Amino acid sequence: MKNQQNKLRILTGDTPTGRLHLGHLVGSLENRVLMQNDYDCYFLIANVHAFTTRMDKPDDIHQSVIDIAIDYLAAGIDPQKSTIFLQSEIPAIAELTFFFSMLIPYPRLMRNPTIKDEIRDKGLGDNYPFGFLLYPVGQVADILAFRPAFVPVGEDQVPHLEMAREVARRFNQLYCHVDPHTEDADYLKKGGLFPIIEVKLGRSHRLVGIGAPGPDGNLYKMSKSLNNYILLSDDSDTVQQKVMSMYTDPKRLKSTYKGSIENNPLWIFHETFNPDKIWVEEAKERYRNGMIGDVECKKRLIEVLVALIQPMRQRRLQYEKDMNYIQSVLKEGTAKANVLAAHTLILAKEAMKQRYY
């Protein structure tokens, strides 16, 4: 769990199914930027998992990997401090996935609420590949290959991380002979190989998207796959156009303009991103009483979001001009990540009595 400088390790990542959006920022990315001084950070780009829903779009996945690496750097991840790496180049992850798949009962996998939500929200119907069901197991391997202490993620990942905790306990009990009554925090002390990782949620656990709610009345989470996002790389005109067309309160009575704050992305966004808390509280009150229009509140939000996104966008434009640098970040990060993951695999095989020479 610690490196030579005695720093605790963290591991997290993103699937290259598009560029990073505001949900990523407040769900996980911000936390990563803050933690990189004090923790040994590993950030994985899950390009193998992108194939679970985009197996017919290899070019898109390729471009998306580059985009996400650039988004990381633009958001302030520093490759001198943090390790950015490619999932497909870490063979130990694939090998561990196979072994871990024996430790997760199939019905347990199907009870995972995130899997059910994704099948519904991404319209996968009955046509998702077997690999789609395998990806949560793969994610357990992504995490445990690095034996981190913390995993900073958004709320939708919590069920997956619970599986990582279950697999770690089971592995430690079966192959390292740790007593099943052991407290989570004590597994390593008692001879276990894998830590029972802790989830670290961002300041917004689940940022909603800019679109209308689903049939159940709930707003969707902002998601790369749902086209309801504002990207960290959107230009000012795009931010303006997206905010102006953002879903607000449809029940707002035209005559009185009384509006509801709850379940309203306009106010969720102001609360999350607007640093002027006094304005937000006053404006919410006026909105409830029909004293302020949608357009005025949206214009404020545009200013706030453009001020947040523009510096990242400027840095991105610089990085886009230097693909050699981006490649070197990925190559060096992946080489470093491989050393750690390969070592974990050796230790796992040793515990499973599968080393013969």
Site residues, ligand ATP (CB under 6 A): 14-15, 17, 23-24, 27-28, 153-154, 156-157, 204, 206-207, 221-225
Cβ-based nearer residue to ligand ATP, 21 or 147: 21
Distant-in-sequence contacts of 324-331, Cβ < 8 A, 24+ apart: 326/66, 326/69, 326/70, 326/73, 329/69, 329/73, 329/79, 329/84, 330/45, 330/65, 330/69, 330/84, 330/85, 330/86
Cβ-based nearer residue to ligand ATP, 151 or 329: 151
Q: Among 58, 50, 60, 53, which Cα is nearest to 128's?
A: 53
Cβ-based nearer residue to ligand ATP, 21 or 298: 21
Decide if 341 contacts 92 (C-beta within 8 A). Answer: yes
Rounded to the nearest whole angstrom, what is the least distance from the CB of residue 23 to ligand ATP in the complex? 3
Cβ-based nearer residue to ligand ATP, 205 or 286: 205
Q: Which two tokens stand for residue 24?
A: 């990523």
Rounded to the nearest whole angstrom, what is the least distance from the CB of residue 207 to ligand ATP in the complex? 4
Decide if 99 contacts 352 (C-beta within 8 A). Answer: yes
What count of other Cβ atoms lies within 10 Å of the Cβ of residue 205? 15
Q: How far apart are CA 130 and CA 110, in angstroms?
A: 12
Cβ-based nearer residue to ligand ATP, 160 or 316: 160
Q: Which residues of 64-82 are buried (b: 16+ CB within 10 A; e: fewer)?
A: bbbbbbbbbbbbbbebeeb
Q: Among 3, 14, 22, which Cα is nearest to 50's?
A: 14
Q: How far apart are CA 6 and CA 108, in angstroms?
A: 36
Residue of minimal Cβ distance to ligand ATP: 27
Cβ-based nearer residue to ligand ATP, 14 or 71: 14
Q: Which residues of 9-22 are buried (b: 16+ CB within 10 A; e: fewer)?
A: bbbbbbbbbbbbbb
**198-201 and 150-153 strand pairing:** parallel
Cβ-based nearer residue to ligand ATP, 63 or 325: 63
Cβ-based nearer residue to ligand ATP, 49 or 193: 49
